[in-house]
Structure 1
Amino acid sequence: MTEQQKKDIFPPTQPRGTELFRLGLAASVATVLAAAAGVGALVLLIIWLLVGRPDLERVEYVSLSAGLNAIKLAGGLVLGVGGSVALVVAYRRQRLGEEEHLRQDQASQRDRTRLYNERFARAADQLGSERAAVRLAGIYSMAGLGDDWEEGRQACIDVLCAYLRMPFRPQGSLPAFERPTHARPRPWEAVVKTPDEATSSPLVAASEAQVRSSVIQVFRDRLWTGADVAWHGAYLDFTGAVFEDASFDGMDFTDCVVKFDDCLFLGECGFSETTWRRTEASFLGSVFGGRLGFEYSTIEESDITLYGDFTECTDANFQGLTFTSGQLRLLGPRDHGGSVSFVEANLAGGELTLHPSTLHKDSSIAFSRSVISGTRVTIEGGKHTAGNIWCNGVKVRGGSITLGAVHWAWEPVVLEGVEFSFDGALVTGGEIALRKVRIAGSDVHFDDLEMSGGRLDLSMCELTSGTLRFDNPTITGGEVAIDDPSGPTPMSAVARALELAGASIAAQTDTQTAP
């Protein structure tokens, strides 16, 4: 059969869109014409009725003016009908164009989604490669996809977080820590404690460390204020990951949820100059086996919880922290030691709570030279046999800093060998409180205290041994509250010394009595 015969038997068909347009247009034009005819007949009928239904007589002669008027009337009707038909045609064309544009957009969206899914699958395959170079390529491919694909960005973030949660054997040694008997093992414990020749090779370990460092670099490049494509508002789940010498410095966690639960931190892990804004971050059950630096970071309207295991190597450093609102809670230092520092911090709002269980020889808590202008600082509970609590040069302008049992039913905080210093403190407002504290062998001193306002609360403070001294104080205002300042107790001698220095002594007003 020739091509001409095929064309004769099977004539070419019009595109379906054109065919539908023609059918719809014909129906619409017919409808308009029928409506115009009906409207015209109805108008004539109404006019005939209004003029009294005159008899329609045969007219033999039509004047020139009447003929011209009839022609004008017919022309107007034709123009009206034609205009209506033109409007219908234009409307149908516009609607068909919009529908076609919508179909093209939907097809384009399906094509983009298919392309993104293909890129996602290729990047995921690369991440599962045994070769470090291929895994690196997969990381950057997944990150680039997260930049391009806003709807699927969280899925890309989840994959990168999952890679960091994969088993990893750090090069550093694991410090001593205690896991409560009722707690389940952390995901990394079996990997870290069990030798594996396949992953113990220095070359393999170094390669994997480089890959993991690149994942963190991907997050750092996208979680900062000047990022071209910012991943703010992300959900970052690092639960059970191992971080060795990891750097999160400079990241901007805005509107994020960040989970570092059950993680292991070894070496130098940094969060310096990070911003936590309207973010929830948790370090529940983590082990801090090295330095954890939060220097010069900012916390605004965020809730951050570090309830983990401090070790003898732990150094949680918040030097220069700016804290304006929200909550910051730390469970430490713990039984194995460690230290926490808020030196030179600007504490302007929110609640900062420390729960140290026991301070040992090398343990310390420091607020030296910090400015407390609105934050409620609380160091709750514990029996401390050694170590140091340094608050030298602290400036209290508002808010409060309290050591003791906050709730009336709690056991007293016992200071048996710790040195607690407020030397050089400046109090112009707010409150310093040692509430329900038993000094039994410790040296607590407020030397060179300057106080012009605020309140020094020593209520329910018991001195059985050791010292509580105020050498060379300058007190020109404010109030000092002491339990039974006139009684025959060591605290009464403290009250008399402060009264001689110019302090206004008030009998303690117990706010912790049982209900």
Structure 2
Amino acid sequence: MVFLLFASLFSFSLRSDPFPWNLQQKMSADDLSKVIQSALAATAGLGFGVTLFLSVRRQRTTEDAQATAEKNYGETLNLVRLQVEQQRSAELTALRTRYKDAAEQMGSTAVAVQVAGVYAMAFLADEWEVPARTRERQMSIDVLTSSFPSDRDADTRQALSVENPLTAGGLTKAIWKSIFQRAYSNNTFGQRWTGADVDLRRKNFADIDLPRSLSHRTFDFGSLHFGESTISSLTFNDCEFRDGKISFAKTQILGELKFVGCTFSGGELDLSVCLGAEKLAWSITFVECEFSGTGITFNGIGTSDSGVLFHDCTFLPSAKVLTGLPDCGSFDFDECQFHDKERVLQDLAPMRTKLSFSREKPPSLTAYRVEDLAAELWGSGPIAQ
């Protein structure tokens, strides 16, 4: 229709007749060709102009829609952020309220309420398990550990025991259980206190009927201190020591400290034990343990009957050097395997303590890890890799 309109206009301009197909006034071929070409060009130009106009309008409409969408998105995002902040603030307020309630429960005179407060505080520490709230988590753990009776609380503990026998040990057992439940090997995120400091220094665990065995635990606390505490005996069964520091520095061990089937793959273990004024004999025993990366320090003070026994233990090539030396006692290695014996024992000078080896086993190739074997054969570098 547009083409016909332009053809009529151009035909009229040539011969004052808007109908080029009029048979009464025939148009020459040249005139007809000019009319057709001019009409086609005008139609194409008009079509291009209309297309360009529509494109510009569409682009403007799209830009306006995008600007509106961005504005709406920004407002929505700000609203979401505000809602998140409000939710976090509400959660923080609720957690701090629970902290206050749990602390009040722990300070109650009723044993059942105290124990409920202990578990509430422990679960609260679980929920603080986010990077931004590690300070609050540590604060909850410190409240738990500070509630253990110390050596200076002996008279008070005895009075409570006479008045109410459950009060003396119920709270302490609940705290002990809560702490070491957070070290189970199969615990998931939120049920472990990885990187936290557990301070059990200057406590008296000998007079309380606590569990004497910790089994299937993975210790990756930031630190676990028993320093200057009193322990009758304690056994670690099938545990892994892989991070942080566990310290028995100046701990009074009245019986035996034992490690059975444990793996020492990282971190630090300080066994600088002592017996105070009593100078009683102590014993540290390792049975069927594997040493591959934990730094172990010995610097104990005891009698000539004190000693450290390694039975059927394996020291892998990556095992760290045993450092320190007890003032008295001996080191006995029975049926042990050493992949680098001289390096591991280089700090245990025989001149100050007695070292004995019996039924020593040759190093087994199966005890090598792949990277240890590669380092042993080829050293470090592209070939080893």
State the distance in 2 between where 1:335 and 1:313 align. Answer: 5
Number of the residue aligned with 2:73: 94
Number of the residue aligned with 2:264: 299
Are 1:155 and 2:136 matched, yes or no? yes
Amino acid at match of 1:328: I
Indicate how the Cα distance of structure 1 residues 77 and 299 shifts in structure 2: closer, same or farther if over 3 A, else same: closer
RMSD between aligned residues: 3.1
Indicate how the Cα distance of structure 1 residues 358 and 225 shifts in structure 2: closer, same or farther if over 3 A, else same: closer
State the distance in 2 between where 1:260 and 1:284 align. Answer: 7
Amino acid at match of 1:149: W
Indicate how the Cα distance of structure 1 residues 128 and 72 shifts in structure 2: closer, same or farther if over 3 A, else same: same
Number of the residue aligned with 1:231: 193
Number of the residue aligned with 2:325: 355
Aligned-pair distance for 1:226? Answer: 0.6
Post-superposition CA distance 1:215-271 (Å, at most 9, x none):
2222332212211333222222222222234443332112632222222112x3222
Post-superposition CA distance 1:23-47 (Å, at most 9, x none):
xxxxxxxxxxxxxxxxxxxxxxxxx
Number of the residue aligned with 2:179: 219
Post-superposition CA distance 1:120-167 (Å, at most 9, x none):
111111122222211111121122222223234563454345433446
State the distance in 1 between where 2:335 and 2:51 align. Answer: 98
Indicate how the Cα distance of structure 1 residues 155 and 81 shifts in structure 2: closer, same or farther if over 3 A, else same: closer
Decide which moves more: 305-314 or 147-156. Answer: 147-156
Aligned-pair distance for 1:89? Answer: 1.7
TM-score, normalised with respect to structure 2: 0.69
TM-score, normalised with respect to structure 1: 0.53
Are 1:254 and 2:214 matched, yes or no? no
Q: Does the aligned pair in 2 maintain the 1:220–1:250 contact within 8 Å?
A: no
Amino acid at match of 2:307: S
Amino acid at match of 1:217: K
Q: Does the aligned pair in 2 maintain the 1:123–1:138 contact within 8 Å?
A: yes
Number of the residue aligned with 1:114: 93
Structure 2 residue matching 1:309: 3-state secondary structure: coil
Amino acid at match of 1:305: D
Aligned-pair distance for 1:75? Answer: 4.5
Post-superposition CA distance 1:80-127 (Å, at most 9, x none):
433332222222112211111111111111111111111111111112
Number of the residue aligned with 2:170: 210
Structure 2 residue matching 1:242: 3-state secondary structure: coil
State the distance in 2 between where 1:202 and 1:249 align. Answer: 34
| Structure 1: gaps spanning 5 or more residues | 1-63, 169-186, 399-515
Q: Does the aligned pair in 1 maintain the 2:124–2:140 contact within 8 Å?
A: no
Which protein is richer in helix relative to its size?
Answer: 2
Are 1:373 and 2:347 matched, yes or no? no
Number of the residue aligned with 1:318: 286
Number of the residue aligned with 2:125: 146
Q: Does the aligned pair in 1 maintain the 2:161–2:167 contact within 8 Å?
A: no
| Structure 2: gaps spanning 5 or more residues | 1-41, 365-385
Q: 2:162 aligns with which of 195, 201, 207?
A: 201
State the distance in 2 between where 1:158 and 1:144 align. Answer: 13
Indicate how the Cα distance of structure 1 residues 102 and 161 shifts in structure 2: closer, same or farther if over 3 A, else same: closer
State the distance in 2 between where 1:191 and 1:337 align. Answer: 31
State the distance in 1 between where 2:144 and 2:47 align. Answer: 89
Which protein is richer in strand relative to its size?
Answer: 1
Count matched residues: 307
State the distance in 1 between where 2:92 and 2:198 align. Answer: 24
Q: Does the aligned pair in 2 maintain the 1:127–1:138 contact within 8 Å?
A: yes
